[in-house]
Amino acid sequence: MANKITLPAFILFTIIMIWACEKDEPQVIEHDVTPYVLEYGPLPPPNIPTDNPLTQQGVLLGKMLFYEPMLSRDGSQSCASCHRQPDGFSDTLRLSVGVQGLEGTRQAMPLFNLAWHSNDFFWDGRAEFLRDQALLPIEDELEMDETLDNVITKLNAVQNYKDQFTRAFGSEDITSERMALAIEQFMLSIVSYQSKFDRYKAGLEQLTESEERGRILFETEYNQFFPEQSGADCVHCHGGTNFENDQYMNNGLDNENDFADLGRALVTMNPNDNAKFKVPSLRNIAVTPPYMHDGRFSTLEEVIEHYNTGIKVSPTLDFALLNTTDTGLLLTEQDKQDLINFLHTLTDDVFLNNPEYKTPF
C-alpha cells in the first residue's frame, strides 16, 4: 500500500518549508529616523545640534558605543568605566586609571545635562563640540590608548554594529565621524531634573528646616559688613536650573607659584586664563566625589571649608572670591551642615537608576 500524506501532515510540511525559506532570506535593515523624545521637565529648552538631531536609533548606537570595551586597546575599558551611572556618570577615583594602569591628569567630569552647556567641553574646554569630546579619550594613551582605525576595524567585524549604523545613518559604513555623532546623541540624552529640590520647586515636597536654611545660605550673597545677613554666595558660580554658569573660573585652589595645572590657559595660551577650569553643575554633587579638577577634596565638608577659609589669592582669582579672603565666608558649623543638607537635595535618584541610560548589552 502506497504511503499517504494526510492533510494535517501536508499542512505541517508546507509550514515548515515556508519557514525554512523565510529563514534563509536576509533580514532587511532600514534607516530609521524616528525622533528620540527628550524629557527635561523644568529645564529650559536644550541645545541640540541642528546637524545631529536625536533619533531613537542614533541614541541607541551611541549607548552601545559608550558601553563598548572594544573602543579600548585591550578591550578592558569603555567610556562607562570612568563615567558610571550610579556615580552621576563620573568616577570615584581621584584620577582615573587607563588601560596601561597609568593615572590621568584630571578627575573625570560628570556626564549629564550636557545639552545645556553652550561652550567647549572638558575641564579646560579643549573640545569645541561634544562630538569632539567623545573621541579624544579613545586615542589618549593615558585612557583607552587605541586608534580610531583599529576601533573601526573591530566594529566592522560585528554584524550587529553594521546593522545598527544602517539603522542610525542609512548605511553600514562605520566611520569615526559617525561614531562621534552617535556618542554625542547618547550623551545629550542623559538628563537629570527629578531631584528633591525639583519637587520642592514644583510644590510637590517640602524641604526640612536645615535644608531650607542651606538653600537660603546657598542663594544669599556674602556680606562682610553685616555678618548676620551674609550667605555663602554659591549662586555666583552655580546658578540657574542647572546649577552652573557655563564659564571657566579660578576658584582659589592654589597660589600663583603653586599652579600645577594651568587649565584653560593651556588651550587659549592666554595667561589671564591661568588656573581657570570649567564650572561644573552641582546637580548630583553628593554622589560625584572626589571634587575639583584634580580630585583633591574627598568630601563636601572639605569643599565647603575651602570656600569658607581656604581661598588662595592669585592674579586670575575670581573677583567675588577675592572679596572673601579677608574674613572668609563667616560660616558657622551649623551653616556648613545646612549647606551640605541642601546639596543632598540635588541628588536625582530617578536619573541615577534610569534604565534608559544603562548598558544595552
Right CATH number for 196-351 from 1.10.760.10, 3.40.50.2000, 3.40.47.10, 1.10.287.110? Answer: 1.10.760.10
Confidence at 125, pLDDT banded by 50, 70, 90:
very high
pLDDT at position 244: 95
Say if residue 59's pLDDT is above 50: yes
pLDDT at position 25: 64
Phi-psi region of 101 (alpha: psi -120 to 50; beta: other; left: phi over 0): left
Higher-confidence residue: 208 or 14?
208
Confidence at 229, pLDDT banded by 50, 70, 90:
confident
CATH class, range 56-191: mainly alpha
pLDDT tens sequence across 150-184: 999 999 999 999 999 999 999 999 999 999 999 99
Say if residue 17's pLDDT is above 70: no
pLDDT exceeding 70 applies to what percent of the chain? 93
Q: d(Cα 227, Cα 88) in Å, to the nearest integer?
A: 35
Which DSSP symbol is given to 293?
T
CB atoms within 10 A of CB 188: 26
- Find out whether 211 and 346 touch, Cβ atoms under 8 Å: no
Q: What does the mean pLDDT of the chain come to?
A: 92
Mean pLDDT, range 212-222, rounded to an integer? 96
CA distances from 225 to 202, 221, 245, 322, 324 (A): 35, 12, 27, 15, 11
Q: Minimal CA–CA distance to 150: which of 223, 70, 205? A: 70
Say if residue 2's pLDDT is above 90: no
Could you tell me which residues come within 8 angstroms of residue 55 by beta carbon, excluding any fewer than 6 positions away?
32, 33, 34, 35, 36, 168, 185
With 0-12 CB in 10 A as exposed, 13-18 as middle and 19+ as buried, what is 246?
A: middle
For CATH 1.10.760.10, list the domain ranges present in the chain: 56-191, 196-351
Beta bridge partners of 293: none
Q: d(Cα 336, Cα 117) in Å, to the nearest integer?
A: 29
Q: What is the pTM of this model?
A: 0.90
pLDDT tens sequence across 298-339: 999 999 999 999 999 999 999 989 988 888 899 999 999 999
pLDDT tens sequence across 91-114: 999 999 999 999 999 999 999 999
